[in-house]
Structure 1
Amino acid sequence: MKTIKCMMDHLYWADGRILDALEESGTKNKELLKLVRHVAVAERVWLSRLQGKGSAQYSLWEDAEDLTAIRTMFEENAEQYRVYIEGLEESELDEMVDYANQSGVPFRTSVRDLLLQVLLHGQYHRGQINRALRMESAEPVQVDYITFARL
């Protein structure tokens, strides 16, 4: 649990840093804003599944223009994940979760693997966002785990 908690703390930190970089860049790139919104919504989708709720109400790929609304979503996600993780016992990490993906296809996956999906999915897309910022001649932001660990 210690490792997962630490990695989740990194996720909250990295989400905030990438939002700061986007705000500082002043980007109006709709695809880039759609991508950061996608990360926030995906975090929410996986949390809903972990909580035994459906996720069909969430649309993973919608246009976004308001970084303030996206930041609020990330902050709400972080608070809800903190509550979820604090209530989670080590033994529950291997419990299986039944859920359906956004297309309605059923799956069964362990809590551990769902949490790892959340952690790795966001990191992948933060890398894409940083690359796009660099291509726009904006400053990318360091979001590597080791940078977080050194704080």
Structure 2
Amino acid sequence: MKTIKRMMDHLYWADGRILDAIEENEIKNKDLLKLVRHIAVAERVWLSRLQGRGAAHYSLWEEAEDLLTIRTMFEENAEQYRIYIEGIEESDLDEIIDYANQSGVPFQTSVRDILLQVLLHGQYHRGQINRALRIEAAEPVQVDYITFARL
């Protein structure tokens, strides 16, 4: 649990750094904002599944609202993930969750693998966002785990 908690703390930190970079550089690129929103919604979808709630009503690839709305989603996600993780034990990580993907296809996945998916999915897309920042003539933001660990 200690490693997953630490990695989740990195996720919250990295999400915030990406949002700050977009805001500070006044990025208005709709595709980039759509990708940032996608990360927030995906985090929420997986949390809903972990909590035994449906997630079919979430749309993963909608146009982004304003950056403040996206930031609020990330903050709410972080709060809810903290509550969820504080409420589980190491043995709960092997519990199998039944859920359907956004197309309605049923799956079974362990809590551990779902949490790892959330962590790795966000990191993958933050790399894409950093590349897009460079294309927008903005400086990419350091979001590597080691940078977080050195704080």
Question: Normalization by structure 1: what TM-score?
Answer: 0.99
Aligned mates of 1:23, 1:140 — CA distance in 2 = 13
SS of 1:112 mapped into structure 2: helix
Q: 5+ residue gaps in structure 2?
A: none
Aligned residues: 151
Aligned mates of 2:45, 2:98 — CA distance in 1 = 14
AA of the residue aligned to 1:76: E
Shift of 1:25: 1.3
**Maintained 8 Å contact 1:30/1:65:** no
**Maintained 8 Å contact 1:49/1:97:** yes
1:81-92 paired onto structure 2 within 5 Å: 81-92=81-92
AA of the residue aligned to 2:137: S
* Residue-by-residue CA offset, 1:89-140 (whole Å, 9 max, x unaligned): 0001001000000000000000000000000000000000000000111011
* Residue-by-residue CA offset, 1:21-72 (whole Å, 9 max, x unaligned): 0001111111000000000000000000000110011000000140000000
Q: 5+ residue gaps in structure 1?
A: none
**Maintained 8 Å contact 1:98/1:106:** yes
Identical aligned residues as a percent: 85
Aligned mates of 2:113, 2:64 — CA distance in 1 = 29
State the match for 2:76 in structure 1. Answer: 76
AA of the residue aligned to 1:62: E
1:1-151 paired onto structure 2 within 5 Å: 1-151=1-151
The 4+ residue runs of structure 1 with deviation greater than 4 A are none
Question: Normalization by structure 2: what TM-score?
Answer: 0.99
AA of the residue aligned to 1:49: R
Aligned mates of 1:57, 1:44 — CA distance in 2 = 11
Aligned mates of 1:90, 1:116 — CA distance in 2 = 14
Shift of 1:141: 0.4
Aligned mates of 1:78, 1:136 — CA distance in 2 = 28
